[in-house]
A and B are shown apart, each in its own frame.
Chain A
Amino acid sequence: GAVVSQHPSWVICKSGTSVKIECRSLDFQATTMFWYRQFPKQSLMLMATSNEGSKATYEQGVEKDKFLINHASLTLSTLTVTSAHPEDSSFYICSATTSGRAAGTDTQYFGPGTRLTVL
């Protein structure tokens, strides 16, 4: 149980294009989803917190107009990197939490990640 999927697993795009990444909870309803970014040899940095049906809460320094987050349902959240540039190249990872599970209400389950390369 508690499986989170992401699609695509990797993407290469040209500078200036937009890329959409999907995050799905497969066997549970995710009350909250989180988006992280991880650069090589660094830890995960939280970008935003997303609750179904409401606007995402972005961390300080994260441009909301560049990283568009939509949490359309309890099982799907999307991150769109708009007008991507080479400095946006990174490993993007989503996670999801739910309530009522034995692991605790705030345990985050991570998707496999999406490696974005912007040329």
Chain B
Amino acid sequence: QKEVEQNSGPLSVPEGAIASLNCTYSDRGSQSFFWYRQYSGKSPELIMFIYSNGDKEDGRFTAQLNKASQYVSLLIRDSQPSDSATYLCAVTGTASKLTFGTGTRLQVTL
């Protein structure tokens, strides 16, 4: 079983719609949860981090964490073509080491 799982996609949403990206993790001891955006050929860019159960909002982005279900999600409101990228879910366990999912490719269509 993979430690961090994501649907590889592509997830296609029309411009202006809400994109919902999901991630599950296997280590119940995981403490911190991150969403990174990676454009093709570029390195990951931090979008959001979340530590506590519930929702955390930052602009058009909302991260949701449910530790009981070992589930973290990212909602992108009013999706724009520039949001088209691969979104990486990452989880930290011990020693601040990040374990990445394989990423979900998002396509925002005009």
Taking beta carbons and an 8 Å cutoff, which residues of A are in contact with B? Answer: 32, 34, 42-44, 46, 49, 91, 93, 95, 97, 103-113, 115
Partner of A104, one of B44, B51, B95: B51
Cα distance A46–B98 in the bound complex, in angstroms:
8
How many whole Å from A37's CB to the nearest CB in chain B? 12
25 contacts between A and B (CB under 8 A): A32-B96, A34-B98, A43-B102, A43-B103, A44-B88, A44-B100, A46-B97, A46-B98, A93-B43, A93-B44, A104-B32, A104-B49, A104-B51, A105-B96, A106-B32, A107-B32, A108-B34, A108-B96, A110-B44, A110-B46, A111-B43, A112-B42, A112-B43, A113-B43, A115-B41
* Binary interface encoding of chain B residues 21-47 relative to chain A, with 1 for a CB under 8 A from any of its CBs, else 0: 000000000011010100001111110
Interface size of B as a range: 20 to 34
* Binary interface encoding of chain B residues 42-61 relative to chain A, with 1 for a CB under 8 A from any of its CBs, else 0: 11111001010000000000
How many whole Å from B2's CB to the nearest CB in chain A? 10
Flag if B102 contacts A109 (CB, 8 Å). no
Most buried by A among B36, B43, B96: B43
Residues of B within 8 A of A106 (CB): 31-32, 92, 96
Flag if A103 contacts B49 (CB, 8 Å). yes
Partner of A49, one of B34, B43, B49, B97: B97
Residues of B within 8 A of A43 (CB): 88, 100-103
Flag if A97 contacts B96 (CB, 8 Å). yes
Partner of A44, one of B42, B44, B92: B44
How many whole Å from B82's CB to the nearest CB in chain A? 18
